[in-house]
Amino acid sequence: MNNVPQAAAPAPIASRPTMIEFRDVHKYYGDYHALRGINATIKAGEFFSLLGPSGCGKTTLLRTIAGFEDISSGAVLIDGKHMVDVPANVRPTNMVFQSYAIFPHLTVEQNVGFGLRREGGTPAEKARRVEEALEMVGLKGFGKRAAHALSGGQRQRVALARALILKPKVLLLDEPLSALDKKMREQMQVELIRLQRQVGITFILVTHDQEEALVMSDRIAVMFEGQIAQLADPETLYRRPNSRQVANFIGVMNFLPAKVLTEAAGRIAIDVQGLGQTEIDATQAPGAVTGGEISVGFRPETLTMLYEGQTTTERETPGTIEEVVYYGDMTYYDVRLDGVDSPVRISMRNVFGRPVLDIGTRTRVAWSAGALVLFR
Amino acid sequence: MRREAKSRRLGPFHAPDPVQTEPDTARQAGAGDRGGMEEKSRWHRFRRSEAFAGLTLISPTALYALLLLVAPLATILVYSFLTDGDTVTRIVWEFTFENYITTWTQPIYRAVMMRSLSVSMMVTAVTVILAFPVAYYVSFHVAPGRKALWLFLITIPFWTSYLIRVFLWKVILGYNGVINSGLTSLGLIDEPLTFILYNVNSIVLTLAHAYAPFAILPIFVALEKIDRSLLEAGQDLGESRLMTFWRVTLPLAMPGVVAAVLIVLIPTIGDYVTPQLIGGGKIPMIANLIQSQMLDQDNRPLGSALAVSAMLIVTVVALAFVLLNARFLRVKK
């Protein structure tokens, strides 16, 4: 993952004015119910991501903001104004398309300046704005090139410059990085964050890549089957997913069957298979646990394997290593804890001097009750 | 060593590498035969080359084109420089520029040539302007699963012969044709409308109908190739649908429009049947004049000179058009 510093937010998200509001938005394609009651607000200057598997409705939702899709019921508001009957060309939004949609018959500067026709200003002024926009995306001096002679990354930058030059209130990005290779993608992620901070425009990103969403966003809406499953900042989403579905979609999570024993005063006593009885805070059950048969989830990095002679102040459980996957900086172990049906995944950083263990090795796993999340 | 390995890999169905056999033959036949041997190996190399395979594949078509296209054209070209004879001798083998001088100086030939050009340009304009909305509709507003059906329906007029289609227009437009008798029986007109038969209008109408699919199909293909997200991008960047059409769709459809223009323009200049039937023979185009010189007047050299001149003019017009539109044609590369 990219080591990008989180945005030094000028004001907390919650206190900023609302830029976009969805009020019970439904969208049908014939019998197909694509959006099923979307309610959300996106704040001004926020980097917001719509994350979900293909077909979850995230692109449809983005297109309702742009004005390319009509909604069947509900309301979409941009900066407080209803967008019903407002056509795409007069909405204060601009879009970076998944295919980039660079006009093949125009040069780079003609592409970037495409939207300036309707704006005032002398040709010289417009040319200067185009030059500035190109400079902002790192394409200074590319203006005279034919659009079809550009690489994928360059096309993307042209698409960005073309949208940002019009100073929209909202920039919509439809899977803009999916066509780039890994290195290029990571580089563009950093650049997009930098650009967003620089221009201060609300960015709405559609992506199916959970890592991309975590790295770039102030807040993320995770969507499944036309509904928002969870809307939260990246850390909450990662640490406190409110359902097994969200937990599975974002990163890796281990699940163990468990039983609720007692619930009182914000504390929940549970009995987890293999780990035994423990007590957790009620905030560790974001999905409203009702009791009875539940499951407990924990991330691979919240577990630690103890080596010979190591001790811990946390709880520990014995187990056997069943699989070892070496990643260079990390090693993933599948460990079957004693008394558990399926193995759990543990990730260990390969710090200097720490050996990689073999399959079949007996080991002890240290864990902390604070890292557990309860699911229905 | 390397070469041996290579020829083994090629297997038994490939001739051995000619270079490899050279030491053997050199030892047996001596230095004198070396030249012949090299020539032979060059032939072998050519035999196995892709160029040879390609030439072999196109040779039937090439022969056909040579016999039925190049040979008649060459004959016409030669005839155009010969002298006309009497009814017995037909032609006299005497070189002359007289036919060309006649073609380019006699007002009648110039007038007919100009008429051919203007009629075909009108036909082209009418055809392409009418074909574009049809192609646009099929490409943008017909459901993807039904486009094939629409294209199929567009080709239906082609199921009957060109001659019959032209004749049917005569039936529709004639003095006692469908339009005139229909309008008369409705009491809308007393006299048959004369502006729709035996004149340039009716020729343009008939030819535009006959060539419509030739214009629709290339424009349709060009429109189909346009990435639909480009149109959304146009609107996203603040342009209305109409301006997006003007700034994005139309420039990207230009290769198809250029193709349509050439496909309609070139054959209509030399059209023979329509002026003959619809024009009633009273408003001949260049093809009718060539026919009359060749057969009625039995002046083959002059007819040939007319034909060659017409071809030159078509070439010049077509080239001028292509060069003018080179900018648009470059787009898709």
Domain boundary among A209, A244, A279: A244
**What pLDDT is stored for residue A263 in this prediction?**
82
d(CA A243, CA A58): 19
Whether residues B21 and B152 fall in one domain: no
For residues A67 and A148, the answer to whether their CB atoms sit within 8 Å is no
Whether residues B30 and B145 fall in one domain: no
Cβ separation of A114 and B332 shorter than 8 Å? no
For residues A296 and A260, the answer to whether their CB atoms sit within 8 Å is no
Q: Domain range for residue A275?
A: 252-375
Indicate whether B56 belongs to any domain.
no
Whether residues A66 and A23 fall in one domain: yes
pLDDT category of residue B219 using cuts at 50, 70 and 90: very high
Whether residues B225 and B310 fall in one domain: yes
Indicate whether B247 belongs to any domain.
yes
Where do we find the tokens 């003019």? B313
Whether residues B141 and B23 fall in one domain: no
Indicate whether A311 belongs to any domain.
yes
* Helix residue spans in chain B (DSSP H): 2-10, 18-29, 34-47, 50-65, 71-79, 98-105, 107-141, 147-154, 162-173, 178-185, 200-224, 228-236, 241-244, 250-269, 273-277, 286-291, 300-324, 326-329
Whether residues A47 and A67 fall in one domain: yes
* Helix residue spans in chain A (DSSP H): 58-66, 108-112, 123-136, 152-164, 182-199, 210-216, 234-239, 244-249
Domain boundary among A197, A212, A244: A244
For residues A243 and A229, the answer to whether their CB atoms sit within 8 Å is yes
Chain B interface disruption, residue of A29, A103, A111, most B CBs within 10 A: A103
Q: Tell me the per-residue pLDDT of B15-73, one tens digit each, with 9 for 90 and over.
A: 444 444 444 444 444 444 555 566 678 888 888 888 888 888 888 888 888 889 889 99
Whether residues A262 and A195 fall in one domain: no
For residues A19 and A170, the answer to whether their CB atoms sit within 8 Å is yes
- In tens digits, chain A (376 residues) has pLDDT values of 444 445 454 567 778 899 999 999 999 999 999 999 999 999 999 999 999 999 999 999 999 999 999 999 999 999 999 998 899 999 999 999 999 999 999 999 999 999 999 888 899 999 999 999 999 998 988 989 988 889 888 999 999 999 999 999 999 999 988 888 888 889 889 999 999 998 999 999 999 999 999 999 999 999 999 999 999 999 999 999 988 899 999 989 999 999 888 888 788 888 998 888 898 888 888 766 666 778 899 999 999 988 888 888 888 899 999 999 999 999 999 999 998 888 999 999 998 888 888 998 899 999 998 889 988 7
Indicate whether B79 belongs to any domain.
no
Q: Could you report the predicted ipTM of this complex, rounded to two decimals?
A: 0.84
Rounded to a whole number, what is the largest CA-CA distance in chain B?
103
- Closest-CA distance, B225 to chain A, in angstroms, reads 12
Whether residues B176 and B319 fall in one domain: yes
Chain B interface disruption, residue of A70, A89, A130, A171, most B CBs within 10 A: A89
Closest CA to A188 of A222, A159, A149: A159
Cβ separation of B234 and A118 shorter than 8 Å? no
**What pLDDT is stored for residue A267 in this prediction?**
86
Strand intervals (E) in chain A: 18-29, 32-43, 47-51, 73-78, 81-82, 93-96, 170-174, 202-207, 219-224, 227-232, 254-264, 267-272, 276-281, 293-298, 304-306, 315-326, 330-337, 344-349, 362-367, 373-375
Whether residues A279 and A358 fall in one domain: yes
DSSP character for A88? G
Whether residues B149 and B292 fall in one domain: yes
For residues B207 and B271, the answer to whether their CB atoms sit within 8 Å is yes
pLDDT category of residue B4 using cuts at 50, 70 and 90: very low
Query: By CB neighbour count within 10 A (0-12 exposed, 13-18 middle, 19+ buried), where does B133 fall?
Result: exposed
Whether residues B135 and B242 fall in one domain: yes
pLDDT category of residue B293 using cuts at 50, 70 and 90: confident
Indicate whether A120 belongs to any domain.
no
Indicate whether A148 belongs to any domain.
no
Whether residues B245 and B119 fall in one domain: yes
Indicate whether B180 belongs to any domain.
yes
Indicate whether A132 belongs to any domain.
no
Whether residues A85 and A198 fall in one domain: yes
Q: Give residue A21's Cα distance to chain centre.
A: 19
Whether residues A200 and A304 fall in one domain: no
Which residues of B are less than 8 Å from A117 in CB distance?
238-239
Q: Domain range for residue B32?
A: 1-48
Q: Tell me the per-residue pLDDT of B314-332, one tens digit each, with 9 for 90 and over.
A: 999 888 888 877 765 554 4
Domain count, chain B: 2
Task: Report the residue of chain A nearest B225, measured CA to CA.
Answer: A104
Whether residues B241 and B324 fall in one domain: yes
Mean pLDDT of chain B: 82
Whether residues A193 and A334 fall in one domain: no
Whether residues A256 and A348 fall in one domain: yes
Whether residues B289 and B205 fall in one domain: yes
CATH number for the domain harbouring residue A231: 3.40.50.300
In the chain, the amino acid numbered A314 is: E
Indicate whether B61 belongs to any domain.
no
CATH number for the domain harbouring residue A340: 2.40.50.140
d(CA B134, CA B212): 10
Domain count, chain A: 2
Element (H, E) at B91: strand B91-92
Task: Report the residue of chain A nearest B328, measured CA to CA.
Answer: A105
DSSP character for A291? S
d(CA A300, CA A371): 10
3-state secondary structure of A12: coil
Indicate whether B254 belongs to any domain.
yes
How many Cβ pairs closer than 8 A exist between chain A and B? Answer: 61
Whether residues A234 and A350 fall in one domain: no
Whether residues B14 and B149 fall in one domain: no
- Chain B within 8 Å of A326 (Cβ-Cβ)? no
Which residues of B are less than 8 Å from A88 in CB distance?
232, 235-236
Indicate whether A146 belongs to any domain.
no
Indicate whether A136 belongs to any domain.
no
Indicate whether B60 belongs to any domain.
no
In the chain, the amino acid numbered A327 is: Y
Whether residues A237 and A262 fall in one domain: no
Whether residues A218 and A87 fall in one domain: yes
CA–CA–CA angle A152, A158, A163 (5° rounding)? 130
Q: Which of B227, B236, B251 sits opposite A88 (nearest CB)?
A: B236
Cβ separation of B240 and A114 shorter than 8 Å? no
Task: Report the residue of chain B nearest A69, measured CA to CA.
Answer: B232
d(CA B326, CA B134): 25
Q: Give residue A131's Cα distance to chain centre.
A: 32
Domain boundary among A244, A276, A298: A244
d(CA B222, CA A199): 39
- Closest-CA distance, A113 to chain B, in angstroms, reads 10
Whether residues B131 and B268 fall in one domain: yes
Whether residues A233 and A331 fall in one domain: no
Where do we find the tokens 């939702």? A61
- Chain A within 8 Å of B246 (Cβ-Cβ)? no
Cβ separation of B234 and A148 shorter than 8 Å? no
Indicate whether A232 belongs to any domain.
yes
Q: Mean pLDDT throughout B204-219? A: 91
Indicate whether A284 belongs to any domain.
yes
Residues 6 or more apart from B301 whose CB is under 8 A from it? B79, B80, B81, B82, B83, B84, B91, B96, B99
**What pLDDT is stored for residue A183 in this prediction?**
87
CATH number for the domain harbouring residue B156: 1.10.3720.10
- Closest-CA distance, B130 to chain A, in angstroms, reads 25
Q: Tokens for A134?
A: 């190109």
Indicate whether B65 belongs to any domain.
no
Which residues of B are less than 8 Å from A93 in CB distance?
236
